[in-house]
Amino acid sequence: MRFSAKWRNGFGLFGFRLFPLPPGERAGVRGMRRGSDVAARASSPGGVGSVTLVGAGPGDPDLLTVAAVKALAAADVVLFDHLVGDGILDLAPPTAERICVGKRSGRHSLPQEQINTLMSQQALLGRRVVRLKGGDPMIFGRAGEEIDHLDALGIPVRVIPGITAALGCAASAGLSLTKRGVSRAVTFVTAHGRDGERFEPDWARLADPQGTLAIYMGREQARAVGAGLTGAGLPADTPVLAVENGCRPDERRFWTTLGAMAADGVAAGKGPTLLLIGEALRAREAANDLAGVGAVMMAGE
């Protein structure tokens, strides 16, 4: 049974172990409140709530931190992204309002300015607001803009980290992103900029033969990445692992090389896709007998 299914009906904390509580005791758990209690708190004069930016991790609810679970259980309102994994919202109380703000590559249902306003409006009503973000809030999550907005209004804000996609996908595939004598650095890059902004990174700076690259939201820019890095001097046979829907039941891994990716892109579908690139991957590629370009693996294989 998955974590969210086991604990979404309430929990107690003892150290780092979680124990389900009988229904009769749930009223005493912070966050398990009746709708009338939430309304009374929200309408209380002068009561300022708070905002917690919570990292939902790469998709699997089992990878949430204990702090994230506690914050969700105490939430009056949850503002969540498309990239939040199935089952994670179930950890919020039934009385909590859930609002999809829809941030996903190329599919933003609300501009960032409106998300900022919505967060502050809810907090100024006296509510405990959880801003639930895929991965880690501080990695390509625009958390800095949200914190600045809340600080300017005097609204208390807290950040709970989550496992970012690069680390989750690497762990799922059994990869170490660093390796003694092979890779001494890891660089995170986003392939998605502002609307209309061209993807033109400094390829010479990124083409470090002793480093590993993690390209977030990289599917649509895969050809450009392959061409840019080989053009800057990385060997065409440098291993690449594309991970679609990382740490989810439908995760797919596609092995290729920089040269092949420059010509053909990657065969990932429409799900969020991360590109891992570098010599640190080569041993794992060989261990999986995937020297041939174009091999696809499902999670768990």
Q: What is the CATH number of the domain that holds 294?
A: 3.30.950.10
103 part of the active site: yes
Residues 95 and 205 in one domain: no
Q: What is the pLDDT of residue 148?
A: 98
Query: Any idea what the Cα angle at residue 224 is, between residues 223 and 227, rounded to 5°?
Result: 85
- Among the listed residues 60, 70, 76, 81, the single catalytic one is 81
Residue range 247-254: average pLDDT?
94
| Mean residue pLDDT across the chain | 83
Ranking 39-48, 92-101, 219-228 by mean pLDDT, the lowest is: 39-48
- High-pLDDT (> 90) share of the chain, %: 67
**What's the rounded Cα separation, in Å, for the pair 80 and 293?**
37
- DSSP-derived 3-state class of residue 185: strand
Residues 86 and 140 in one domain: yes
Residue-range definition of the domain harbouring residue 206: 165-298
> pLDDT tens digits, residue range 195-233?
657 788 999 999 999 999 999 999 999 999 999 999 999
Q: What is the pLDDT of residue 173?
A: 95
Q: What contacts 68, CB < 8 A, 6 or more positions away? A: 54, 55, 56, 57, 160, 162
Q: What is the pLDDT of residue 255?
A: 95
- Among the listed residues 70, 103, 136, 208, the single catalytic one is 103
**What's the rounded Cα separation, in Å, for the pair 113 and 171?**
34
Residues 85 and 115 in one domain: yes
Left (φ > 0), alpha (ψ -120 to 50) or beta: where does 31 sit? left
Domain boundary among 104, 126, 160: 160
Number of domains into which the chain is organized: 2
Residue 25 pLDDT level (bands cut at 50, 70, 90): very low
Count the neighbouring beta carbons within 10 Å of the beta carbon of residue 197.
Answer: 8
- Is the per-residue pLDDT at 31 higher than 50? no
Residues 9 and 148 in one domain: yes
Domain boundary among 106, 130, 160: 160
**Cα 211 → chain centroid:** 22
